Every structure is written in structure tokens, then in C-alpha cells.
Amino acid sequence: MIDRERLIAQLLQMLADLGWTPPATGDALDQLLRGGLLTGAQAEDVTGRDRDTIVRWHEAAIAEGRPLLGVLTPAGWLWDKVRLLDHIELKSGRYARNVSQTRAEKYAEMWSQPPQLVLKKRKSGA
């Protein structure tokens, strides 16, 4: 008889050995902390392009029926790292994607640091 749990564990281990990671779960903050979202300035650095060019890519993706590359918030653009990298690969090839992905890794490392809690000191008697 097949041990279902053991078989699943073996298959997951084989996938992990091949570099597969399970899909990420969580909300936007979790994605940001994993380095999955880029600010406008970070996206410009990662792609090597200016904001207007990235926005044009975004508009073209929408016109072509592909997923959004980012979202404009009151605080500025937030860009999905994987979607931007996919777009770069689609338009400029695998090498360009790898160059951009290397640039993006520094932001993943930066965001994944433990958050610093900043507390204001209260005045005595307040």
C-alpha cells in the first residue's frame, strides 16, 4: 500500500532540490518584506529605466491583456518585482532579466531585515 504522506514528502523534497519554492502566501506587507514589491525608485534602479518608461510598460501590459505590473498609490508606485522581471525577459531576453534580478536582490535583503520598532518617549506626566 502507498504511504501517501511519505510520497508527498519525497516529491516536495525532489522539487526543492530542483529549486522550486512553494507559492508565497500573505498580504501586501508580507510581500514587501520578502522583497516582492518595489517602490518607484527601487523599480527604476532594478530595471535601469526611468519612471515614465516603466509606466509605459505597465500601460502596454494592460493593453495586451497581461497582468498589471504595479499599482499607483497615494504614496507613489508599487511595482511587483516578479511581474517586472517577467516583462523584462519578455521584451529583452533572459540575460536582461538576470541583470535586473541581481539588482533586485539587494532590496529583498534590505526589506527582510528585522523591523526596527521606533517608539517616541512620552513626557513625564503625560
What pLDDT is recorded for position 124? 59
Rounded Cα distance, 66 and 117, in Å? 39
Task: Give how far the C-alpha of residue 79 lies from the chain's centroid of Cα atoms, to the nearest Å.
Answer: 8
| pTM more than 0.85 | no
Q: Is residue 23 part of a domain?
A: no
pLDDT in tens, 12-30: 888 888 877 776 666 766 7
pLDDT in tens, 33-44: 677 889 899 999
Q: Is residue 82 part of a domain?
A: yes
Q: Is residue 55 part of a domain?
A: yes
Q: Is residue 68 part of a domain?
A: yes
Q: Is residue 18 part of a domain?
A: no
Res. 125: pLDDT tops 60: no
Q: Is residue 21 part of a domain?
A: no
Res. 45: pLDDT tops 90: yes
Lowest mean pLDDT: which of 17-21, 22-26, 66-70, 93-97?
A: 22-26
Q: Domains in the chain: how many in total? A: 1
Q: Is residue 16 part of a domain?
A: no
Res. 108: pLDDT tops 60: yes
Q: Is residue 125 part of a domain?
A: no
**What is the domain extent for residue 37?**
33-111
In which order are the strands placed within the sheet that holds 76-80?
37-39, 76-80, 70-73
What pLDDT is recorded for position 123? 63
Q: How confident is the model at residue 109 (pLDDT cuts 50, 70, 90)?
A: confident
